[in-house]
C-alpha cells in the first residue's frame, strides 16, 4: 500500500484514482472543482478543493509525506509545469506528470518530473498494434523492441508440451502465461500441454513474435 496524491481530476485522474483505490492504496485528490470529485469522496482518504499553482495550497497538502505525486492536468500545460516544479522544490519524493506532447514531456522532466506518462499516446499505440496485427488480442510494450503479446495457440503446437515445442530456442520467445476463460495462469511449467482453446501470453522481440504469428493462417 502506498500513499498517493493526485492533482487534477479530469478523465485520466478519475480513472487513475479509482484503480489506485481498488488496489488498496491511500489516495488524496485535489481539484479546483468539487463537482468532479464528489463521486470519489466516499472512497479516497481525503479530498481538497484548491488551486495547486498556489504555493500555499501545495504546502498545506504536505507533499513530502506522499510516496508518489501525480500531476494529471491535461488542458493547461503552464499549470502542470508550475505544479510539477513546485512539488519537487517542496520535497515530493516522486513526481509523475501527464503529458500530451513530446515537447511538454521534455519541459516537465527538466522542471522536476521523475517520470512522464502519455495516456492518449499509449492507448493509441496499443490500439494500433492490436487492430493492425492479425491474431493479437492484447499488447503491452516493455521497450520499443520487446513486448508482451496475448495470442492464440499456434496450431502446430496443439497437444505438445512447452518442452517439446522448445519455444525459447526455436522461436526466441518465452511463454509467461496461459489465459483461459478470463483467468491467467502465470509461468506454466515445461510439462504444460498446449490447448487450442486458450490464449498464450508471450514475451519476446516484436519481430520474433511477428514471425511466429505468420504461422497462424487467417
- Pairwise CA distance, residues 65 & 87, whole Å: 12
Q: Verify that 145 and 196 share a domain, yes or no.
A: yes
- Cell 483467468 maps to which residue? 183
Averaged pLDDT, 23-35? 95
Residue 127, pLDDT score: 76
If one counts every other C-beta atom within 10 angstroms of the C-beta of residue 32, the result is: 15
Q: Verify that 134 and 58 share a domain, yes or no.
A: no
Kindly tell me if the per-residue pLDDT of 151 is higher than 70.
yes
Identify whether 218 is part of a domain: no
Averaged pLDDT, 136-162? 91
- Pairwise CA distance, residues 127 & 131, whole Å: 6
Kindly tell me if the per-residue pLDDT of 114 is higher than 90.
yes
Query: pLDDT band for position 80 (50/70/90)?
Result: very high
Q: Verify that 95 and 131 share a domain, yes or no.
A: no
- Pairwise CA distance, residues 31 & 47, whole Å: 8
Q: What is the pLDDT of residues 55-66, one digit of tens each?
A: 999 999 999 999
Averaged pLDDT, 132-155? 87
Please calculate the CA angle 68-21-4 and round it to the nearest 5 degrees.
Answer: 15
Identify whether 52 is part of a domain: yes
CA atoms within 13 A on the CB side of 201: 15
Kindly tell me if the per-residue pLDDT of 82 is higher than 90.
yes
pTM (2 decimals)?
0.69
CATH code of the domain covering residue 160: 3.30.70.1450
- Pairwise CA distance, residues 13 & 176, whole Å: 31
Q: Verify that 180 and 130 share a domain, yes or no.
A: yes
Reported as type and span, the H/E element at residue 95 is strand 95-98
CATH code of the domain covering residue 35: 3.40.50.720
Q: Verify that 137 and 164 share a domain, yes or no.
A: yes
- Pairwise CA distance, residues 119 & 100, whole Å: 8
Residue 217, pLDDT score: 64
Please report how the helices 102-110 and 77-89 are oriented relative to each other, as an axis angle in degrees rounded to 10.
20
Tally of structural domains, the chain: 2
Averaged pLDDT, 170-188? 92
Q: What is the pLDDT of residues 122-135, one digit of tens each?
A: 777 777 777 777 78
- Pairwise CA distance, residues 214 & 40, whole Å: 46
Domain that holds residue 166: 122-213
Q: Verify that 78 and 128 share a domain, yes or no.
A: no
The C-alpha cell of 69 is what?
Answer: 505525486
Identify whether 209 is part of a domain: yes
Amino acid at each position: 500500500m502506498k500513499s498517493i496524491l493526485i492533482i487534477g481530476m479530469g478523465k485520466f485522474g478519475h480513472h487513475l484514482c479509482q484503480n489506485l483505490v481498488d488496489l488498496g492504496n491511500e489516495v488524496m485528490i485535489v481539484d479546483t472543482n468539487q463537482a468532479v470529485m464528489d463521486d470519489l469522496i466516499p472512497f479516497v482518504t481525503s479530498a481538497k478543493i484548491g488551486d495547486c499553482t498556489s504555493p500555499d495550497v501545495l504546502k498545506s497538502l504536505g507533499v513530502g509525506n506522499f510516496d508518489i505525486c501525480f500531476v494529471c492536468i491535461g488542458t493547461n500545460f503552464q499549470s502542470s509545469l508550475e505544479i510539477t516544479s513546485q512539488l519537487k522544490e517542496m520535497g515530493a519524493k516522486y513526481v509523475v506528470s501527464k503529458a500530451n506532447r513530446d515537447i511538454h514531456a521534455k519541459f516537465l522532466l527538466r522542471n522536476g518530473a521523475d517520470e512522464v506518462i502519455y495516456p492518449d499516446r499509449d492507448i493509441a499505440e496499443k490500439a494500433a498494434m492490436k487492430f493492425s496485427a492479425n491474431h493479437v488480442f492484447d499488447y503491452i510494450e516493455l521497450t520499443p523492441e520487446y513486448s508482451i503479446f496475448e495470442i492464440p495457440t499456434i496450431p502446430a503446437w496443439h497437444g505438445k508440451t512447452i518442452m517439446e515445442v522448445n519455444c525459447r530456442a526455436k522461436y526466441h520467445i518465452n511463454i509467461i502465461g496461459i489465459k483461459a476463460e478470463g483467468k491467467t495462469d502465470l509461468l506454466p511449467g515445461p510439462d504444460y500441454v498446449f490447448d487450442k482453446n486458450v490464449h498464450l501470453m508471450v514475451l519476446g522481440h516484436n519481430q520474433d513474435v511477428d514471425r511466429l504469428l505468420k504461422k497462424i493462417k487467417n
